[in-house]
Structure 1
Amino acid sequence: MRVVVNFLIAVLPLAAAEPLSYDCAYSKAAPVIDGDLSDACWKNIAWSADFSDIRGDSQSAPRFRTRMKMLWTTDALVIAAELAEPHIWGTLRDKNAIIFHDNDFEIFLDPDGDGLNYYEFEMNALGTIWELTLDKAYSKGGTATHGTNLPGLRSAVKIDGTLNDPSDIDTSWSVEIAIPWKDLAIYRGANAAAPTAGDSWRINFSRVEWQHRLVDGKYQRIPPHGAEIKDGDHPEDNWVWSPQEAINMHLPEKWGRLKFVP
């Protein structure tokens, strides 16, 4: 006699990926903020994992490498990034313009990790910056306050190649940003002191990379400024340090963890 046994197999949803973490080491010396990452204090600071598609590992790997590193001093959080790029270009020169309309590098920082009152920074290859503050995520009814520029912030870009010159192939551009603790007090319940080793903040990084074309010998993103983008059409690449599992950087609960170590 043949016995047939039916098995009920439950299909469970895949668990969400755990946000990445980065051990941010203390440094007695601070680098010169000039975009050049050859300062001695950067030598032993570990690079992050290479950035991946914002939606996660199910997507194709980015076309160009992006990575970051961080250190902290008694005065500031210092962030460096290296963005491989064969065609380095930028168009936006006005401070607090919508920088992601160019290729850019972005920082999202929530020191207390509550998803409220968080900071965003964007920079293009020209060194133009945009700073803003979100009271909460857009999906939760949040609004952005533009131009919340931190008075002591310092930033710089270094180009390995030629900026806005399509006649050659470039290598990369690198950035350095120093964010003083005293300026971050508005995001930390008025706490202007340096963090303590062992503290953990929420942070993430994004790179927006546009397809481009040449118009009269100049770079122009596709689609051009002002063109309509249909719902669901994302002509730009979004590469991030810790995947968001959606094309949306404003999910602070998905951001990675910045861990301060001695």
Structure 2
Amino acid sequence: MHYIYFMLAAMAGITTITAQGQTRPAPQSYMCNRAGKAISIDGKLNERSWKKAAWTSSFVDIEGDKKPLPLQETRVKMLWDDQYLYIAAQIDEEHIWAYQDRKDQIVYLENDFEVFIDPDGDTENYYELEINAINNTFDLFLPKTYRKGGKAQLKWNIQGLKSAVSVNGTLNDARDKDKRWFVEIAIPFESLSTEHVKPVIPADGSEWRINFSRVNWQHDVDQQGHYSRKRNAETGKVIPEYNWVWSPQGIINMHYPEYWGKLLFRDEEVGNRSNADKPRQVQ
């Protein structure tokens, strides 16, 4: 299927019909071009390649049109080279806070940014990365989805992962309002593998399944200025989080890889528009 169809379908909001007869938005698509020069992972996104790369559409609620649009903007851009998939995220946030600072803590129990990748698109053997505003990471591998009996392998790590965060505001300081934080990530293609699963190295025309999620909690601030998740005044239970995503799932569950967006690799340097309007066959 041609990549232009994917792009036009996403822009037009074309829907698909599931086996259960439910209407579901078509997955978003992103054309990922090559970086012109090496990318320095510092959270600043000041390389020329980043400036030329297109942003995705703004995130929406995980359930799509069933819920209102997010209160704050999130968007992503991507690049690649022979070694890495590069991901940059802009996360607008009036109160930037994060305290979990040990590797593989459950990062989504605070505000975070999440990446989900299924390189061969078969809905199995996929990878998850979570990162917070102090650049603490939590990564895992799933041989199959939870609903099919999959068990997360928490000891698995993205070997050679590079990540950095920059904050436009004051971290963990409730006395003022912040603007946003940026995440910059380089994921080695070779690292998306296990002893039983070989890495998938993309080429021109390759298609992966990918999605991004932002977990955002309502918060309280105590007398010492410490942030915490907001609780219901009557029940004392934590108020459920917002889940904002790039490509809507239609349900509150990221572990349906078949609903993720499409990442389309193009072996052309970012900003080179010589063949931009020509359809590309996706393998």
Give the structure-2-normalised TM-score: 0.82
Distance 1:199 1:234, change over 3 A: farther
SS in 2 for 1:57: helix
Residue 214 in structure 1 maps to residue 214 in structure 2? no
Q: Where in structure 2 are the equivalents of 1:18-33 lying within 5 Å?
A: 18-33=26-41
> Structure 1 residue 187: deviation in Å?
9.4
Provide, for residues 1-45 of structure 1, a one-character-per-residue CA deviation record: whole Å limited to 9, x for no partner: xxxxxxxxxxx9553211111000112313210111122110110
Q: Which residue does 2:102 correspond to in 1? A: 94
Counterpart AA for 2:135: G
> Structure 1 residue 223: deviation in Å?
3.8
Provide, for residues 64-120 of structure 1, a one-character-per-residue CA deviation record: whole Å limited to 9, x for no partner: 000000000111000000000010000101100000001000000000111111100
Query: Which structure carries more strand by proportion?
Result: 1
Contact 1:152 1:180 (8 Å CA) reproduced:
yes
Residue 257 in structure 1 maps to residue 262 in structure 2? yes
Instruction: Point out where structure 1 has 5 or more consecutive residues left out of the alignment.
Output: 1-11
| Corresponding residue pairs, total | 245
Distance 1:221 1:207, change over 3 A: same
Q: What is the rounded CA distance, in whole Å, between the counterparts of 1:187 and 1:21 in structure 2?
A: 30
Q: What is the rounded CA distance, in whole Å, between the counterparts of 2:197 and 2:152 in structure 1?
A: 19
Q: Which residue does 1:140 correspond to in 2? A: 148
Q: CA RMSD in A?
A: 2.0
Q: Which residue does 2:275 correspond to in 1? A: none
Instruction: Point out where structure 2 has 5 or more consecutive residues left out of the alignment.
Output: 1-19, 268-283
SS in 2 for 1:116: coil
Q: Where in structure 2 are the equivalents of 1:151-230 lying within 5 Å?
A: 151-186=159-194, 189-191=197-199, 194-215=201-222, 216-223=224-231
Q: What is the rounded CA distance, in whole Å, between the counterparts of 1:79 and 1:253 in structure 2?
A: 21
Provide, for residues 167-187 of structure 1, a one-character-per-residue CA deviation record: whole Å limited to 9, x for no partner: 111000000110011212439
Counterpart AA for 1:165: D
Counterpart AA for 1:113: G
Q: What is the rounded CA distance, in whole Å, between the counterparts of 2:230 and 2:168 in structure 1?
A: 24
SS in 2 for 1:16: strand
Give the structure-1-normalised TM-score: 0.88
Which of 245, 257, 281 does residue 240 from structure 1 map onto?
A: 245
Contact 2:218 2:239 (8 Å CA) reproduced:
no
Counterpart AA for 1:180: P
Provide, for residues 211-231 of structure 1, a one-character-per-residue CA deviation record: whole Å limited to 9, x for no partner: 00011211111249xx986xx
Q: What is the rounded CA distance, in whole Å, between the counterparts of 1:66 and 1:93 in structure 2?
A: 23
Residue 150 in structure 1 maps to residue 155 in structure 2? no
Identity of counterpart residues, as a percentage?
47
Give the structure with higher Rg (CA).
Answer: 1
